Amino acid sequence: MSPREITAGDVLCLTRSASPQFVRPVTVRVIRVLTDWHTYHGWCWIDVYELNARGDAVDRRSLYVRCEGCVGVRRRRPLPRPAARSPACR
């Protein structure tokens, strides 16, 4: 994954392949990628919510990770298009 492939809403499983700090895997939901923070090539800063086993947010964190080490558990699904309004509804 590159920083451009990580987007808000993605759920990621972070392990030691993402950073040495993740001795135990951590599941997070991405809030945003901090593209204005300068990093080494292949690394990025992300704002995330840490998720518990039920998928509830338990903590907000800013993390420095190796982009290719971020394993996507679930990609954000595109929002459905709103239904077209019929002329009678105006």
The model's pLDDT over 51-78, given as tens digits with 9 standing for 90+, comes to 998 989 999 999 999 988 887 776 555 5
Residue predicted with more confidence, 38 or 16: 16
Query: Residue 28's closest CA among 13, 17, 16, 45?
Result: 13
* pLDDT over threshold 50, residue 90: no
Residue predicted with more confidence, 24 or 84: 24
Tell me the pairing of strands 71-74 and 11-14.
Answer: antiparallel
**pLDDT at residue 50, rounded to an integer:** 95
Counting every residue written for the chain, the total comes to 90
Say how many C-beta atoms besides its own lie within 10 A of residue 28's C-beta. 25
pLDDT band for 24, please (50, 70, 90 cuts).
very high
Looking at every residue in the chain, the average pLDDT score rounds to 83
- Provide long-range contacts, Cβ within 8 A and 24+ apart, for 22-27: 26/50, 27/51, 27/73
> Residue type at 34?
L
pLDDT band for 89, please (50, 70, 90 cuts).
very low
